[in-house]
Amino acid sequence: MAWGRGFFRLWVMLSALWVAFSVLMYWERITDPAPIEFAFTFRENSPVAIEAGSPEHATLLAQRKAGGYTSMPLASGDRAFISTKEELNVRVHQLMAIQDAHGGIRTKLSAQTFRRNLGEALQMAAFVPGMLLALGFGIGWIASGFRRQDMAAD
């Protein structure tokens, strides 16, 4: 019997099933990543996006509650946080800059999320079959050490 060939075919079939399972698990996250809400604020003369739920976002919310920031809704459920310490004309300028940059920054962040999700899916799809293949080769190598050696005729 050709044990090696049979186990290799078993590995190919199990790997194909695992990859199909991985694609099904990650398909929605890859094709339509969950919308992440961002808080946009103005730092060092440019708009900055902060992921909702991050510690920096919590700080912004606390400062808004204390009266240091005011927030206004943007598209996609995002919010713009503008410092109340600035003069009115500066705040208007900052809000307009955030609104102008919002779409581009959001597109860039969505692309990063897509790449991260795709990378995770590829890692999941390749890791288990790779480890099984390495395990199989290791067991085969160990088993080959127990085979009988033909003795040369005296």
- CA 117 vs. chain centroid, Å, equals 4
What pLDDT does residue 151 have?
A: 57
The answer to pTM > 0.75 is no
Q: How far is CA 45 from the centre of its chain?
A: 29
* 3-class secondary structure, 44: coil
Q: In the chain, where are the structural domains located?
A: 38-110
More confident residue, 90 or 4: 90
| pLDDT tops 90 at residue 114 | no
pLDDT exceeds cutoff 60 at 39: yes
pLDDT of residue 22 exceeding 60, the answer is yes
Strand order in the sheet with 38-43: 46-51, 38-43, 79-83, 69-73
Nearby residues of 63 by Cβ (< 8 Å), 6 or more positions away: 69
Q: Is 33 helix (H, G, I), strand (E, B) or coil?
A: coil
